Chain A
Amino acid sequence: MKLFSFLFTSSIGRKILMSVTGLSLVAFLLVHCSINACIFFNDHGKTFNEAAAFMGNNWLIRTAEIGLFVGLLLHSFQGLYLWASNGQKRKQKYHSTPGNANSKWYSRSMGILGSLLLLFLVLHLSHFWVVSRFTDELSETGSNTLFHKMSLIFKSPVLVIVYVIGCISLAYHLLHGFQSGFQSLGFNHPLLNPIIKNFGIVFSLLIPLIFASMPIVMYLGWIK
């Protein structure tokens, strides 16, 4: 275990842990988004429910889910720790600030964006994940599926707005986090750097856009 203690003790170790957990969450987002996008078959959630059932029943995925949670917790607590400790490194603050002249606002706001995401996640998990894992409320088929739960939740305009805000936070969080993750791992290649950068931008905009479109289309009743 001593081999990995640096991930919790040194400044660079901590960012490497942020990077590894962050990039695994990015990978999860891709899976999550692909499954959810099944609603766009517009088949009353049939494909979506099948995919969700597969995810819920596959032992390999259930195991990975534990890893995912550990990663999420590490990412959150490490992030909050870094946010707090970095903020302490300059006790006497500047009186005039450079605005966005030397960096992007969202790159400086990862702590706030991350906290927003964390709050959103609590809500989001209580809406779907807790209900499907720990209660008998939902069934895999019939009229009480996960898909039905979705349409029910997204009847509320307030919740739709909350979800859209969550997705916007996610987009900005990813916009910085995606390439930052590679930088923290020491990835640097003259040809691949621009590819990572551009792919990161596309990913950061596309995935949250797809996610955000789901509550909207369900609220508007375009997907039933």
Chain B
Amino acid sequence: MTKSMKINLKVWRQRNADAVGNFADYTVDASPDMSFLEMFDVLNEQLIQNGLEPVAFDHDCREGICGMCSMVINGRPHGPKRGVTTCQLHMRSFKDGDTISVEPWRANAFPVVKDLSVNRSAFDRIISAGGFISTNTGNAVDANTILIQKEIADEAFKAATCIGCGACVSACKNASAMLFVGAKVTQLSLLPQGKPEKESRVVAMVNQMDAEGFGACTNTGACFAECPKQIPLSVISTLNREYLSAKLSGK
């Protein structure tokens, strides 16, 4: 059996969006093979047994793809490891006796729902504003009619792997969402299917992004450093370029 480790937690507790939050201290016995969220399961089980309220946190697939899990761990979204979501972060990345602070994503555009859980519906509204290709079911031509250079398809795919978790916003000192928006704009503007509406798309998405209260990018690169899918910063330069050319063409 693997060895056990004692973890001290400072966890942000906040009843709801309007309430004032503060930190609560807990101690949990963990195992190095546990995921960070399984450690929270153990904590919650412990709290319930003691008649206390468990910590609310978002999670679902627990395999790094749904983008639901969040948590700022010791100041870093999804914890200390690169390219990993909180659900895939394992306790072996910490030491016995460590004190770990856990906070929710913080941004005006992501209000706290409860404890570590936040509302990220702003991202849906940005996609709704333009993050799509306007094609109705049944309109499509045969899939191999339009050939796409492999490199272009691969690059579009790389951008499309964004899981919409919001770590970029939470890491950015300006709470900017440009890595998220850039990823979608890049994917769709690279593909021939997305070209016809690429100008109106980028303008609509950026307008919505601004309206949601995200900040402006100052190119610090923190978003990329914390992105669990390692979406490259080049998507932001693509976003800027697409936006500039759309604006100069009068959109």
A and B touch in the complex (CB under 8 A): yes
Which B residues are closer than 8 A to A by beta carbons? Answer: 12, 21, 23, 72, 74-76, 80, 101, 103, 106-109, 112, 171, 173-176, 178, 206-207, 209-210, 213-222, 225-226, 233-234, 236-245, 247-248, 250
- Our pick among B74, B216, B226, B248 for the contact of A86 (Cβ within 8 Å) is B216
> Which one of A91, A102, A185 has the highest number of Cβ atoms from chain B below 10 Å of its Cβ?
A102
Which 7 residue pairs across A and B have the least CB separation, nearest first? A186-B241, A102-B225, A86-B174, A89-B215, A11-B216, A96-B75, A186-B240
Contact B222 A102 (CB under 8 A): yes
With a cutoff of 8 Å between Cβ atoms, the chain B residues found around residue A6 in the complex are: 247
Contact A96 B210 (CB under 8 A): no
Contact B247 A89 (CB under 8 A): no
With a cutoff of 8 Å between Cβ atoms, the chain B residues found around residue A15 in the complex are: 216-218, 240
Closest Cβ of chain B to A15, distance in Å, is 6
Contact B240 A96 (CB under 8 A): no
With a cutoff of 8 Å between Cβ atoms, the chain B residues found around residue A3 in the complex are: 247-248, 250
With a cutoff of 8 Å between Cβ atoms, the chain A residues found around residue B21 in the complex are: 92
Query: How far, in whole Å, are A102 and B223 apart by their CA atoms in the complex?
Result: 8
Query: How far, in whole Å, are A103 and B74 apart by their CA atoms in the complex?
Result: 15
Closest Cβ of chain A to B220, distance in Å, is 4
Contact B106 A90 (CB under 8 A): yes
Q: A11-B217, A184-B219 are in contact. Are A89 and B175 (CB under 8 A)?
A: yes
With a cutoff of 8 Å between Cβ atoms, the chain A residues found around residue B173 in the complex are: 86, 90, 103, 108
Closest Cβ of chain A to B199, distance in Å, is 13
With a cutoff of 8 Å between Cβ atoms, the chain B residues found around residue A107 in the complex are: 218-221
Which A residues are closer than 8 A to B by beta carbons? Answer: 3, 6, 10-16, 82, 85-99, 101-104, 107-108, 110, 176, 179-180, 182-188
- Our pick among A99, A102, A186 for the contact of B244 (Cβ within 8 Å) is A186
Contact A86 B218 (CB under 8 A): yes
Closest Cβ of chain A to B16, distance in Å, is 14
Closest Cβ of chain A to B83, distance in Å, is 13
- Our pick among B213, B221, B237 for the contact of A89 (Cβ within 8 Å) is B213
Contact B236 A103 (CB under 8 A): no
With a cutoff of 8 Å between Cβ atoms, the chain B residues found around residue A82 in the complex are: 216, 218
- Our pick among B106, B237, B244 for the contact of A92 (Cβ within 8 Å) is B106
Query: How far, in whole Å, are A185 and B236 apart by their CA atoms in the complex?
Result: 10
Closest Cβ of chain B to A192, distance in Å, is 12
Closest Cβ of chain B to A175, distance in Å, is 12
- Our pick among A12, A97, A101, A183 for the contact of B216 (Cβ within 8 Å) is A12
Q: A11-B215, A86-B173, A101-B225 are in contact. Are A96 and B250 (CB under 8 A)?
A: no
Contact B206 A10 (CB under 8 A): yes
With a cutoff of 8 Å between Cβ atoms, the chain B residues found around residue A104 in the complex are: 220-221
With a cutoff of 8 Å between Cβ atoms, the chain B residues found around residue A93 in the complex are: 106
Q: A101-B225, A103-B220 are in contact. Are A188 and B237 (CB under 8 A)?
A: yes
Contact B216 A14 (CB under 8 A): yes
Q: A10-B207, A186-B242 are in contact. Are A95 and B23 (CB under 8 A)?
A: yes
Contact B240 A94 (CB under 8 A): no
Contact A96 B101 (CB under 8 A): yes
Contact B247 A13 (CB under 8 A): yes
With a cutoff of 8 Å between Cβ atoms, the chain B residues found around residue A94 in the complex are: 72, 75, 103, 106
With a cutoff of 8 Å between Cβ atoms, the chain B residues found around residue A179 in the complex are: 219
Closest Cβ of chain A to B93, distance in Å, is 14
Contact B218 A102 (CB under 8 A): no
Closest Cβ of chain A to B167, distance in Å, is 10
B82 nearest CB neighbor, chain A only: A102
Q: A15-B217, A86-B215, A90-B107 are in contact. Are A101 and B76 (CB under 8 A)?
A: yes
- Our pick among B107, B112, B210, B219 for the contact of A180 (Cβ within 8 Å) is B219
Q: A89-B174, A108-B173, A186-B238 are in contact. Are A97 and B75 (CB under 8 A)?
A: yes
With a cutoff of 8 Å between Cβ atoms, the chain B residues found around residue A186 in the complex are: 237-245
Q: Pick 22 A–B contacts, CB within 8 A, sort by A.
A: A3-B247, A11-B217, A12-B178, A12-B244, A15-B217, A16-B240, A86-B215, A86-B218, A95-B101, A97-B75, A98-B74, A98-B171, A101-B76, A102-B225, A102-B226, A103-B173, A107-B218, A107-B219, A176-B220, A180-B218, A186-B245, A187-B241
